[in-house]
Chain A
Amino acid sequence: MDLVTLTEAGLYCPAGDFFIDPARPVARAVITHAHADHATTGHGAVLCSAEGAGITRLRVGPQPTLEALPWGEPRQIGDARVSLHPAGHILGSAQVRIEVAGEVWVASGDYKVEPDPTCTAFEPVQAHTFITESTFGLPVYRWPAQRQVVADMASWWQRNQAADRASVLFVYALGKAQRILAGLGTLLGDDCGPIVVHGAMTALTDAYRAAGVRLPQTSLVSALPKDFPWHQALVLAPPSAQGTPWMRRFGAYADAYASGWMLVRGQRRRRAVDRGFVLSDHADWPGLLQAIEATRAQRVLVTHGQVPVLVRWLAEQGLQAGALEAGYGGEQELETAVTVPDA
């Protein structure tokens, strides 16, 4: 029996009558993590990890009842025994373990296996069937060590300071921004120079602090005076700020973009920034394979990303593999489609 099926609203568990990261309002949702394409609004009841409760509440709105479940603690929902296990993607990101009559499925949401100072590390959970993402499901994607990437960011910032220009770093507002802050804080100490953030990041960064994550001090860009010494500052901004009038206040600046996609030269050039830092909150190819192997699952279902590639690879390794294409955006940029005139 399939413990999880694909419906129009997203992944659904019939035994427990709940959805995982549904794309539209449902009565009962289990939310793996707080990224906008996974945590949507309008649900009746939401279950998420205790670690992620703060930021999940920011995303799902005040309406739903929100139940925060500690790591590994079982919760009976209908005929399904549900527990949440760390996915290592961002603060509070969870894998959902579902057990019905001795059959175990794990839906991983988004995950990475490398350590991240801002969230609990990925925990391998044994399962009969494992549902995995495949955002970076190609062998070209192999991440450099995070320590090295953060050190590169720090020296980039210091070189910009020496050249009297601001350092503007475009990053995801949730997860990556805080991971970078924590990394720089550890490397440079609390006294690392002014770090200023875009308005889109303040509430989320404060939520991380409230959850007990230690981050260096940050100031809100719009709260600072015009003559602030921007040329000494590191500015964290969401990618959508690139090229907007908001950037004018910084005067001379160097810009950079932090994302797994920056591994590829063409993507780096298309971004049109001075520098690309390879830093992703998703598993790279070796990470995906390692995580899948650790579950000892005989059956693997692949969601968003390089679905046909990973399915074929796993099948060639002798696993029962299939596609389960839920429409998440992953780390892809969201693009708007052209409207077509009527014929």
Chain B
Amino acid sequence: MKAFTALFQALDATTSTQAKLAAVQAWLEAVPAADAAWGVFFLTGQKLPQRVPVAELKALAASEARIPAWLFDESYEAVGDLAETIALLLPAPQQPQAVPLHQLVEGQLLGLRTLDPASRAAVVRQVWCSLPSEQRLVWNKLVTGAFRVGVSRQLVLRALAAVTGLEVGTLAHRLMGGWKPSPTAWQSLIATDQSDARTGRPYPFCLAHPLEQPVAQLGPREAWQAEWKWDGIRAQLVCRGGTVQLWSRGDELISETFPELVAAGRHAFAEDLVLDGEVLVWRDGRPAGFGELQKRLGRKQVSPRLQASLPVVLLVYDLLERAGEDLRAQPLAVRRAALEQLMRDVVLPVSPLQLAPVLAAPDWPGLAAAREQSRAEGVEGLMLKRLDSPYAVGRARGDWWKWKVVPYTVDAVLVYAQRGHGRRANLYTDYTFAVWQGDALVPFAKAYSGLSDAEMREVDAFIRANTLERFGPVRTVAPGLVFEIAFEGLQLSTRHKSGIAVRFPRMVRLRRDKPPAEADRLEDIRAMLARTAC
């Protein structure tokens, strides 16, 4: 735990990619396999579910620190990070011991969930007593399931590649599909033998960048394949050795959530293959919106009734493996041809597995016109993929672009504020915005992102000086600041006071020029909704 904590601190203390890479490499070279396995698991952003309920952990920490619950809550509000608050409040350890990471995880952490609260408290207390203060922070983060440090998965893979001499793609692939840390798993991860490619794992997803330059700068239209950009869940259907699995981009197995897709795969394909596509709720020949898809998520049992009322499809747009052969290095044009042939030959028209269409418009202006139809089609815009591109690992720049429609924008008034977390601890950075309905301001969106640090400090100062009321951590703010809010989608909602749910809201800018009375009205937003077909 000492080495892992030192690595955490080193990564936390620098913004330099080179320094981070060097720190991860040095750590990988120094620690035993069992610790390296768990460290890589956490550093690549994989999470164990929360091990101790937050209320239980807070109560335990307050009692250890000998302070009342309200004082713990005040401390937490000022620090903005539960794990750190606890680490700062606990009394100094009496007998700090050196405990290896894997021993803490396997011996204490993993078992916590199944213990009764009293035994759980005893284990947590015992670990706190044995760890020096700085290691407690990391331990607490593992316990709360909120371990995050400023390294990308890609950077960890690069460090691992440098240490093992393996390729990043190989390592990324081996880490897919619910990789479970252990010394054996570590040995297979760093093994030079490459014959393991075909196990139950999905491939690392190829991701797109937002298109920021004018589309004509991409060169001739003929070099590109254009598709709709679907607003669903990205997934790979992995069919190998008679087993069919559906994996989400978040590396989650979602076979049980969409059993009809898995069944369709088993029905359609006799050979080993991997498809990449998008899961959508599909009605009347068009996607039904992300809100509908959300109703299918997070359920243990998916009843036939739910399947009938919220019918899903997998719109397939790439073929990554066929007959056991990895096709990712082939150009897109070749993969697409093979995909079209496959779908034509073996998939029934009634199957929920369908080929995603490519757009035929012969030139950029034609595509731009198609993009204007995105909202009516129920999609987010266009995807542009270079026809000669391989299926890259991660976000390779230049081959895949997402060309989204211009977002909706609304001018709204800041009405509530709450303090942020992490880097924004102690600053009011989480805002609720309202629009006018008659003479009243109706809250309609929350947004946390889009402002610069300087703007955030300005707004924070405004909030402190213009607070009307405080309810726990929330402040009611006198209407005074107007923000331009952008968002991707609009839907009717019975759960929201305004009757409208927005998707991906973010602040575009502070409208210093606009008094609150000139902010938008709810009718304006309803009119926008009416113009949208879905």
Q: Which residues of A contact B (CB under 8 A)?
A: 138-142, 263-267, 269-270, 272, 274-275, 306, 309, 312-313, 316, 335-343
Contacts and interface: CB of A to CB of B under 8 A. Distances in A.
Contacts of B453: 270
Contact of A338 (B89, B424, B426, B510): B510
A270 B15 CA distance: 12
B85 to A, nearest CB: 6
A338 B458 contact: yes
Contacts of B415: none
A72 B80 CA distance: 43
A341 B453 CA distance: 22
B481 interface: yes
Given A270-B423, A342-B515, A138 B462 contact: no
Contacts of A339: 512
A140 B85 contact: yes
15 contacts: A138-B74, A139-B65, A139-B67, A140-B88, A264-B79, A265-B81, A266-B81, A266-B84, A266-B423, A270-B427, A274-B13, A313-B71, A335-B460, A337-B462, A339-B512
Given A265-B81, A266-B425, A140 B75 contact: yes
Interface in B66-81: 67-68, 70-71, 74-75, 78-81
Interface of B: 12-15, 65, 67-68, 70-71, 74-75, 78-81, 84-85, 88-89, 137, 421-427, 453, 457-462, 465, 480-481, 510, 512-517
A140 B423 CA distance: 17
B466 to A, nearest CB: 8
Contacts of A337: 458, 461-462, 465
Contacts of B15: 272
A12 B162 CA distance: 68
A343 B516 contact: yes
B89 A139 contact: yes
A342 B75 CA distance: 37
A120 B432 CA distance: 49
Nearest to B427: A270
A338 B513 contact: no
A267 B462 contact: no
A335 B457 contact: yes
Contacts of A267: 425-426
A315 to B, nearest CB: 12
B426 A266 contact: yes
Nearest to B514: A341
A264 B462 contact: no
A335 B462 CA distance: 10
B89 A140 contact: yes
Listed from nearest, the 7 A-B pairs whose CB atoms lie closest are: A266-B425, A140-B88, A335-B461, A343-B515, A269-B423, A337-B461, A340-B480
Contacts of B12: 265, 269
A12 to B, nearest CB: 24
Contacts of B80: 264, 266
B422 A266 contact: yes
A15 B423 CA distance: 48
Contacts of A338: 458-459, 461-462, 481, 510, 512
A174 to B, nearest CB: 23
B421 A266 contact: yes
Nearest to A261: B426
A340 B462 contact: yes
Given A267-B426, A340-B480, 7 more contacts: A263-B88, A265-B137, A270-B423, A337-B461, A338-B458, A341-B512, A343-B517
B166 to A, nearest CB: 31
Given A312-B70, A340-B481, A343-B517, A142 B88 contact: yes
B20 to A, nearest CB: 13
A336 B67 CA distance: 35
A309 B459 contact: no
Contacts of B89: 139-140
Nearest to A263: B88
A197 B512 CA distance: 39
A343 B68 CA distance: 45
Nearest to B518: A343
Contacts of B71: 138-139, 309, 313
B187 to A, nearest CB: 35
- Determine which residue in B71, B89, B460, B516 has the highest number of CB atoms from chain A within 10 A of its CB, and name it: B71
A139 B14 contact: no
Contacts of A272: 15
A272 B15 CA distance: 9
A157 to B, nearest CB: 16
Nearest to A275: B13
Nearest to A309: B74
A309 B80 CA distance: 17
A178 B89 CA distance: 30
A264 B85 CA distance: 9
A340 B413 CA distance: 12
A313 B67 CA distance: 10
Contacts of B517: 343
Contacts of B84: 264-266
Contacts of B462: 337-338, 340
A339 to B, nearest CB: 8
A264 B87 CA distance: 11
Nearest to B83: A265
B111 to A, nearest CB: 28
A140 B71 CA distance: 10
A335 B458 contact: yes
A102 to B, nearest CB: 36
Contacts of B480: 340
Contacts of A335: 457-458, 460-461
A266 B425 CA distance: 6
B75 A316 contact: no
Nearest to A142: B88
A272 B137 CA distance: 21
Contacts of A140: 75, 78-79, 85, 88-89
Given A140-B79, A269-B422, A316-B68, A341 B459 contact: no
Contacts of A316: 68
Given A138-B75, A140-B75, A340-B480, A266 B424 contact: yes
B141 to A, nearest CB: 11
B182 to A, nearest CB: 31
A305 B462 CA distance: 18
Contact of B513 (A275, A309, A341): A341
Contacts of B424: 266, 270
Nearest to B458: A338
Contacts of A342: 515
